[in-house]
Amino acid sequence: MKIPQGALVAIVDGEILNLFRNTGDEATPSLTAVPDVAVSMENKGSGGRHNSSSTNPADSQQEEDSFAAGVAAVLNKRVLDHKVDDLIIVAAPRTLGELRKHYHKALEAILVGEIAKDLTGHSTADVEKIITAA
């Protein structure tokens, strides 16, 4: 997958959001870290309105779903504020599924691609290679 120049790349799992901007070009991407943003845990994911039980997600899963909903809110706001023209999301598979539930139509319109893979904790060089190989 090509990473457009200036694209925002979000690397997400159930607890961590890392944002990068491609300061290179499509041929030679260079991801630069974007300062950390606060993610609200007030948003409730799909299981957040229910008590934990054997049939409902555990508290930790509810927290991860809430985090994913919070990440989607952060990304939606950036898109709606016209701070993002191209977006790539790389997320752990379950987190990606939860994120998708909260995408705004404007975010969907500028989404260059998604990768269902947990890359939090990987080096920037590894992230660049994996995205360009996708």
**14 band by pLDDT with thresholds 50, 70 and 90:** confident
Q: Are strands 17-22 and 87-91 parallel, antiparallel or unpaired?
A: unpaired
The per-residue pLDDT for range 85-129, each reduced to its tens digit, is 999 999 999 999 999 999 999 999 999 999 999 999 899 999 999
Q: What sign does the CA torsion over 51, 55, 60, 65 have?
A: negative
Q: Which domains does the chain show, CATH number per domain?
A: 8-133 (3.30.420)
With tokens 């790349």, the residue in question is 9
Single-letter residue type at 63? E
The per-residue pLDDT for range 15-73, each reduced to its tens digit, is 899 999 999 999 899 999 998 888 877 655 444 444 444 455 556 678 888 999 999 99
Single-letter residue type at 74? V
User: What phi and psi values does residue 73 have, to the nearest 5 degrees?
Assistant: -65, -40
For residue 49, the model assigns a pLDDT of 47
Q: Is 36 helix (H, G, I), strand (E, B) or coil?
A: coil
